[in-house]
Amino acid sequence: RKEVEQDPGPFNVPEGATVAFNCTYSNSASQSFFWYRQDCRKEPKLLMSVYSSGNEDGRFTAQLNRASQYISLLIRDSKLSDSATYLCVVSTLDTGRRALTFGSGTRLQVQP
């Protein structure tokens, strides 16, 4: 079983739609959670950190459920520029190491 699992998609949605991505993680000791965005053949860019209380940044809302070990990302009013791969990421502090464990990503295509 992968440590971080995501639906690979693609999710094809029209402009203005609301779309939600979920991911699950297997290590209950995971301490920090993130969503990264990656455009084709580019580096991942930090979209937002995910906090237990949930957090919002403009059109983006992230939620964390530690009991069920899943993380979600909601995008409202989708724009063409939101088309990208969204990577769910967890981090565990282990003997001083703060490595990130990535899911394989969910591809989003927003259509006009």
Partner 1 sequence: DAGVTQSPTHLIKTRGQHVTLRCSPISGHKSVSWYQQVLGQGPQFIFQYYEKEERGRGNFPDRFSARQFPNYSSELNVNALLLGDSALYLCASSGDTYEQYFGPGTRLTVT
List Cα–Cα distances, 65 to 14, 59, 70, 74, 100, in angstroms: 28, 20, 5, 14, 19
Q: Of the two residues 22 and 32, which places its CB atom closer to partner 1 in the complex? A: 32
- Write the single-letter amino acid at 84: A
Q: Of the two residues 29 and 112, which places its CB atom closer to partner 1 in the complex? A: 29
When binding is defined by CB under 8 A, the residue of 21, 50, 63, 105 that contacts partner 1 is: 105
Q: 67: helix, coil or strand? A: coil
Q: Of the two residues 32 and 109, which places its CB atom closer to partner 1 in the complex? A: 32
- Site for partner 1 contains 87 (CB under 8 A): yes
Q: Is the dihedral of CA 41, 14, 23, 56 positive or negative?
A: positive
* Residue ranges that bind partner 1, judged by CB under 8 A: 4, 31-32, 34, 41-46, 49, 87, 89, 91, 94-105
